[in-house]
Amino acid sequence: MLQQDAQAYKQLLEAGNTIAVIEQYYDDNIYQQENDEETIRGKQRLLSLEQQSLEKIDQLVIRVPTLVVDEEQQIVMGEMMITFYHKTEGLKFLKEAFLQHWENGKIVKQQFYYRAIRGAAGPGNNPKQAKDPS
């Protein structure tokens, strides 16, 4: 069951439907941590932060090349590559690892590990054509 949920989560994410991902797969009381930053608590707070982020970008391309599902422990982990065109800062690239703890088809805890967001280069500065700069 978790395998199917994780694949559906990945498909929505790669389609750029980040709001739908939060609405469908985040537990109401989720907590999320990025690197060593302060923990963010609650689906509504994360939804608000995502909406604010999306207002600052024109294009978004997300790929999840690695996805590992542990049904027994209800853990999903993987690698995510995000390319986006920021309205004032231009083309950006973020590569991150993530670890998710799931319960009853929802993500209850999520951690992201990454280095700073970098500038990216691609033909015409189009994120759909940008290459992984690493």
What distance in Å separates the CA atoms of residue 53 and residue 62, rounded to the nearest whole number? 14
What is this structure's pTM? 0.85
What distance in Å separates the CA atoms of residue 59 and residue 83, rounded to the nearest whole number? 8
Q: What is the pLDDT of residue 122?
A: 54
Q: What is the pLDDT of residue 83?
A: 95
Q: Where are the domains of the chain?
A: 2-125
Phi, psi of 45 (to 5 degrees): -65, -45
Q: Which residues contact 124 (CB under 8 A, 6 or more apart)?
A: none
Average pLDDT over residues 29-48: 97
Q: What is the pLDDT of residue 119?
A: 78
In this predicted structure, the answer to whether residue 128 has a pLDDT above a threshold of 70 is no
In this predicted structure, the answer to whether residue 59 has a pLDDT above a threshold of 90 is yes
Q: Which DSSP state fits 37?
A: S
Under 8 Å between Cβ of 25 and 9: yes
pLDDT in tens, 63-105: 999 999 999 999 999 999 999 999 999 999 999 999 999 999 9
What's the one-letter identity of residue 66?
A: T
Domain 2-125 has CATH 3.10.20.600: no
Q: Mean pLDDT over all residues of the chain?
A: 91
